[in-house]
Chain A
Amino acid sequence: MTMRKRMTPRHGFALFSVLLAAVIIFVLAATLYFNTCSQTAVHTRLAEQTKALMAAKGAMQLAQYKFRMLPSEFYILEHIHRTGSPNDIARHTAAWMDDFDPARPNSPAARLSASLNAVESGTYQLGVATFTLVTRTGKGYTKDFLRIESWGSYNGIRRSLETLLEVEVTH
């Protein structure tokens, strides 16, 4: 009886050790599994961000091309911004920026977004948020810069791109 009492505390020692080891292994494996899952989400997001950035670059090209085609009209818009009435400013700004609004049917931005949507599954959108003239006066000269902020989105992930371009006058 005395011997049994002395043996009792040793009962289940190996079982306890194994259970402990099993729990530790399980926790490590679960951590690895969840890390892999979270990494998958991070990689998917990285791919979506890159696609959105590429769309924003496309929108930037559209904006630069419009300025290249219609520089005088843009300078008229800027002149109206400084001297015009609120109604005139709104009318000219809307007429200029509507091309970069993907929500406006048949606008170039809407058409380019649709073309990107045809490339692969997922929802693309692109547009231009800001298109302004920045004038900087130096010693004896004035430099004009275009400040363009374009954006692109893919599956709701949005990336923006801002560029300051020096306007060169060519003859």
Chain B
Amino acid sequence: MNRSISGTDAGRRGLSLVELVMAFFLIALIILPIMRALPQSFGIAGRQADQEIAIKIGESTVNTLLAVPFETVSGSPGIKHVPFDLQTGSGTLPVSLQIDGLLGTGSVRIGRTDYLIRITLKPEYSGPPHAATALVFGFAAPPPGAGVASYACPDLFMMIRVDVEYGQRGAPVTLATFRADLRQ
């Protein structure tokens, strides 16, 4: 009886050991790839959050540059300061852009990420009338010609390009639009 019981106990212990070994093996099999995947997922999530903030910073910068007096974005020499407020989840952050000629910069730190704003201005059309660089519009000529007449514009028509770099985590966000000289 004693032998039988001790034999049974031994069998139970052995079986548990095999089960435990298999259990650890299976857990390791599942956990190891997850351990490798989790930091990747968190890294991607962090990068996406930074990218989303960079897009919003870029959009705010473009909107600001569309609203300032045209002289600021005309590419004229001299340093121009363009302050604007950036709305974030934790409040309002003041940002200052500095534009000198056709280039500008600015920076802002949100959380632990530094965002560097680069502005590039380019005259897309620059006049004067009759030059190849003038923006030419068409309109219907009055009869009897009945064709399309054209008008060459004398003003600047600027491309505004904004690049927002965020740390070393990804490619910069690039946004571009145009600004017409509507002063006249």
Contact of A99 among B15, B16, B26, B138 (CB under 8 A): B138
Size category, A interface: 35 or more
- B110 beta carbon closer than 8 Å to chain A: no
A37-62, CB < 8 A from B? 39-40, 43, 46-47, 50-51, 53-55, 57-58, 61-62
Is chain A's interface secondary structure helix, strand, loop, or mixed overall? helix
- A77 beta carbon closer than 8 Å to chain B: yes
Determine how close the nearest CB of chain B comes to the CB of A167; give it in whole angstroms: 13
Docked-complex contact B182 and A51, CB < 8 angstroms: no
The number of inter-chain residue pairs (CB within 8 angstroms) is: 143
In the complex formed, the residue of A with least CB distance to B174 is A120
Given contacts A61-B179, A65-B157, contact A50 B19 (CB under 8 A): no
The interface residues of chain A lying within 8 Å CB-to-CB of B58 are 50
Among the 9-residue stretches B78-86, B97-105, B146-154, the one with 4 or more Cβ atoms under 8 Å from chain A is B146-154
The interface residues of chain B lying within 8 Å CB-to-CB of A169 are none
Given contacts A19-B26, A57-B66, A112-B124, contact A64 B175 (CB under 8 A): no
Given contacts A36-B41, A46-B52, contact A98 B138 (CB under 8 A): yes
Docked-complex contact A64 and B19, CB < 8 angstroms: no
Interface string of B36-62 (1 = CB under 8 A from A): 011001001100100110010011001
Docked-complex contact B41 and A32, CB < 8 angstroms: yes
Q: How far is the CA of A29 from the CA of B27 in the complex (A)?
A: 13
- B20 beta carbon closer than 8 Å to chain A: yes
Q: How far is the CA of A69 from the CA of B137 in the complex (A)?
A: 9
